[in-house]
Structure formats: structure tokens, C-alpha cells
């Protein structure tokens, strides 16, 4: 690629061209294709002990319906009803094990139907999130907060993170093929040795991008 006898000139021009490239916002597209499996989270609820007792009765034992992608977590046979100012939705599945604070994850579509306005949040970040009523077989709870739209995120182990070259809390982009393809921005990487590699999106993202779950999507840093 160099021109014999003119290395200095070659470098001067090469650098000038690269300066131009940067000045005009030309992007270097690095072709390290990196793919991540995706799961679609339907609306669900995580319960704290006190609320589990109140909704299902003290000492109630939940029954596993199905394992979900993260080790030790599973959806339960048990379901609740959630109710907002505009409407209610039945058959909201409980996801176990119990958590420190009750958390309801819904989509924007659900939120509009219920008449609530939850923020887009990381799991567990519930301060100032939306109020909602939860109705179980043994009781009804008026939650002052706890309803969120879960952010787009990717669970991975430290070994995965090293392989993909990403850090905890890093925001990445995810590209989707197909007739409703596109890119999701602001996807948060979450690293823990308790995590299995999986991207989680809600049903709005799934339906907008034509994703059914179990696809592999391209990670772009």
C-alpha cells in the first residue's frame, strides 16, 4: 500500500485523508459480528414476602410453571390481576423467587390500556415508579410505586463480557434483521456470575421489531 521512495508524503496524505474522514463523521464499521440470544418478557410481577402473604395467604408456597432464562428464576402457576385508573388486566404471572420489593413490569401498550404512566427503569430501581392496584385470591394491595417498563438489557457472565468486550452498565446497540428490522439503542449490559447470556425485551419491542424470542441479535458497541 505504501508508495516506494515517498513514505513521508504517503503518510502526510494518508493522515490528511483520515482527518477529513473524522471531520465528516465517517464511521469505522468494525466487522466483528457479535450475536446475543433474545427473550421476550410478557407483563409479570415479582412479589415481596409481605405482599405474597397478603395476596395468597401467609406461608403460601408458589408452584413452578416454567424456568426462565436466568438461573434459579421461574414463572409460577399463580397469577394476579392488576388494575389502573382506566382498566384492569387479568392473568399476570408471578415470577419467583420473592424479591425485596414488589415490582410489576408491563409494556407501554399495557400502560396506556391501564391508564398508568410508568418510567423506563432497570429492575429494582423503583423509587417514584408508577402506582398500581394488585388483586390476588386472598387480598388487594394499593401499591404506591412498583410499576415500571423494564429497560432493554442483556444479562451475561463475566466470561461472556470479556468475550464481547463490554463492561457492566455499558450501553450498546442491538441490530435486528427482517421486514421490521432496525436498531435498538441504549441497551444496558448487566454482568454477574449468576447470569446466563440473554437479552430481555418487552412485548412492545418484540412486536415492533418482529421478534418472537430465541433469535440471535447483533450486538454493536
Nearer to its own copies among residue 7 and residue 144 (C-beta): 7
Nearer to its own copies among residue 30 and residue 61 (C-beta): 30
Nearer to its own copies among residue 159 and residue 183 (C-beta): 183
The distance of closest approach from Cβ of residue 2 to its own copies in the complex, given in angstroms and rounded to an integer, is: 9
C-alpha distance from residue 189 to each of 71, 199, 206, 211 (Å): 17, 9, 18, 20
Nearer to its own copies among residue 67 and residue 177 (C-beta): 177
Largest CA-CA distance found in the chain, in angstroms, rounded: 87
Which residues contribute to the site for its own copies (CB under 8 A)? 1, 3, 6, 9-10, 12-14, 16-17, 20-21, 24-29, 31, 107-109, 112, 120, 151-152, 173, 179-186, 203-205, 207-210
Nearer to its own copies among residue 42 and residue 98 (C-beta): 42
3-state secondary structure of 221: coil
Nearer to its own copies among residue 1 and residue 59 (C-beta): 1
> Taken in order 22, 23, 24, 25, is the CA torsion positive or negative?
positive
Question: Which cell is 3 given?
Answer: 508508495
The distance of closest approach from Cβ of residue 182 to its own copies in the complex, given in angstroms and rounded to an integer, is: 5
Distance between CA atoms of residues 28 and 36, nearest Å: 22
Nearer to its own copies among residue 2 and residue 61 (C-beta): 2
The distance of closest approach from Cβ of residue 193 to its own copies in the complex, given in angstroms and rounded to an integer, is: 28
Distance between CA atoms of residues 95 and 48, nearest Å: 11
**Kind plus residue range of the DSSP H or E element containing 206:** helix 203-209
The distance of closest approach from Cβ of residue 48 to its own copies in the complex, given in angstroms and rounded to an integer, is: 26
Q: Please, which residues have CB within 8 angstroms of residue 66's CB and are 6 or more apart in sequence? A: 74, 75
Please give the distance of CA 141 from its chain centroid, rounded to a whole number.
Answer: 26
The distance of closest approach from Cβ of residue 68 to its own copies in the complex, given in angstroms and rounded to an integer, is: 20
The distance of closest approach from Cβ of residue 155 to its own copies in the complex, given in angstroms and rounded to an integer, is: 19
**CA dihedral of 212, 158, 105, 97, whole degrees rounded to 10:** 110
The distance of closest approach from Cβ of residue 88 to its own copies in the complex, given in angstroms and rounded to an integer, is: 16
What does R_g of the chain's alpha carbons equal in angstroms? 23
Residues 105 and 150: beta-carbon distance below 8 Å: yes
Amino acid at each position: 500500500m505504501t508508495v516506494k521512495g515517498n513514505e513521508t508524503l504517503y503518510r502526510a496524505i494518508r493522515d490528511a485523508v483520515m482527518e477529513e474522514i473524522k471531520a465528516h463523521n465517517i464511521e469505522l464499521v468494525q466487522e466483528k459480528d457479535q450475536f446475543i440470544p433474545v427473550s421476550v418478557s410478557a407483563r409479570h410481577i415479582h412479589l415481596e414476602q409481605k405482599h405474597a402473604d397478603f395476596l395468597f395467604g401467609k406461608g403460601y408456597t408458589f408452584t413452578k410453571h416454567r424456568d426462565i432464562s436466568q438461573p434459579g428464576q421461574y414463572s409460577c402457576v399463580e397469577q394476579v390481576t392488576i388494575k389502573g385508573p382506566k382498566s384492569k388486566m387479568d392473568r399476570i404471572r408471578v415470577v419467583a423467587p420473592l424479591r425485596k420489593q414488589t415490582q410489576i413490569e408491563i409494556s407501554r401498550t399495557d400502560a396506556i390500556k391501564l391508564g398508568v404512566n410508568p418510567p423506563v427503569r432497570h429492575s429494582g430501581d423503583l423509587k417514584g415508579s408508577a402506582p398500581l392496584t394488585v388483586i390476588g385470591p386472598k387480598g388487594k394491595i394499593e401499591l404506591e410505586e412498583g410499576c415500571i417498563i423494564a429497560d432493554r438489557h442483556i444479562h451475561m457472565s463475566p466470561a461472556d463480557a470479556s468475550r464481547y468486550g463490554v463492561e457492566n452498565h455499558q450501553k450498546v446497540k442491538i441490530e435486528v434483521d427482517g421486514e421490521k428490522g432496525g436498531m435498538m439503542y441504549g441497551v444496558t449490559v448487566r454482568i454477574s456470575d449468576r447470569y446466563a447470556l440473554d437479552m430481555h425485551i418487552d412485548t412492545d419491542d418484540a412486536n415492533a421489531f418482529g421478534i418472537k424470542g430465541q433469535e440471535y441479535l447483533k450486538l454493536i458497541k
